[in-house]
Amino acid sequence: MAHHHGHEGHNHHHIDPDAGDMRVAGAIGVNMLLTLAQVIGGILSGSLALIADALHNFSDAIALIIAFFARKITRRPADPRMSYGYGRAEVVAALVNYTTLIVLSVYLLYEGVMRFFQPEPVNGWMVVWIAALALVVDLITAALTYSMSKDSMNIRAAFIHNVADALGSVAVIVAGAAVILFGWTWVDPAVTILISVYILWHVKSEIGETIRVLMLGAPPNLSPEDVATAIEATEGVAGVHHIHLWSMQEKEPALTAHLEIDAQSWTDAETIRLVVKNTLKTQFGIGHVTLEMERAGPTHAALPRFGHDNLQGS
């Protein structure tokens, strides 16, 4: 998945939130109905691949439900106890989604492998029809969430589920056809294993970003060293230390730092602070900036540039 980060953080209001909510709600409805159809079909036709696809569609619906509520929560204003606002709800939701996907995939992998040793009869026609229905629903859901997935890791998690699903359905159709044409029941567990490996591979590529935000890591599109250098290049700044650069949520970088002001420039400290804030905003798109100003002195040499001292109470 290519990540379109960059500084286009202002374009995520092109779908008005309520219209977005309606799309997500619609997608949830179709996926829930589909899951039901696939589970029943999987049991009646004896196809494990159909059940694998159903689990996947169910995880889709769950992903969308979590995403739906996370979107709602994210829009709540900050309050004294949640001073950073609720924006991270989406990040937490994405993590929950990816984790459940891992569990489901591992389970399916195990089931598929067991099936190889004990093949079961499969009703090919029923499999093909239900999988075809699933494919249509997946494509509809993907279309509903595609434009929103560009701006939100939360919806992107749900969108990836869907694309994976559509491919899963295609694979199930192939498995059903193999039964009808050649009587090959082994294609069914083989497809199940492929679906689960595919899900795991996707999770691996996306979950890192989510964990990084929760671990307060620096945004991937900003180099902390470049940011520090830009601050130090400001006229009147003797140095900078205790820099913390992190993401409040997916596209909102924040920074706190201690600015050392040259002793002779101390009277212009306020102006220098504004210049630094402006540089951070225009060059790096960092909007949340908190700077503590200190008069440069001999004591600052040993202070760490990033993070904080290991001394208590620093």
Averages of pLDDT over each 10 residues, the chain, 314 residues: 39 56 77 79 76 74 78 83 82 83 84 78 77 81 73 70 76 82 81 82 82 89 91 90 87 89 89 92 92 79 73 45
* CATH at residue 187: 1.20.1510.10
Gap between the Cα atoms of 176 and 129, Å rounded: 9
Closest CA to 71 of 250, 272, 282: 250
Q: Are 135 and 172 within 8 A, CB to CB?
A: no
Q: Are residues 186 and 113 in the same domain?
A: yes
How many C-beta neighbours within 10 Å does residue 13 have? Answer: 9
Quote the DSSP letter at residue 143: H
pTM of the full predicted structure?
Answer: 0.67
For residue 216, the SS3 value is coil
* Domain assignment of residue 250, yes or no: yes
Q: Are residues 240 and 270 in the same domain?
A: yes
Q: Which residues lie closer than 8 Å to 202 by C-beta, 6 or more apart?
A: 1, 101, 160, 164
- pLDDT the model gives residue 194: 84
* Domain assignment of residue 228, yes or no: yes
Gap between the Cα atoms of 169 and 56, Å rounded: 10
Q: Which residues lie closer than 8 Å to 27 by C-beta, 6 or more apart?
A: 64, 140, 141, 144, 145, 158
Q: Are residues 166 and 267 in the same domain?
A: no
Q: Are 15 and 48 within 8 A, CB to CB?
A: no
Q: Are residues 34 and 160 in the same domain?
A: yes
- pLDDT the model gives residue 17: 66
Helices and strands, number each (H, E), in the chain: 8, 3
* CATH at residue 239: 3.30.70.1350
Tokens read off for 67: 């995403």
* Domain assignment of residue 2, yes or no: no
* Domain assignment of residue 309, yes or no: no
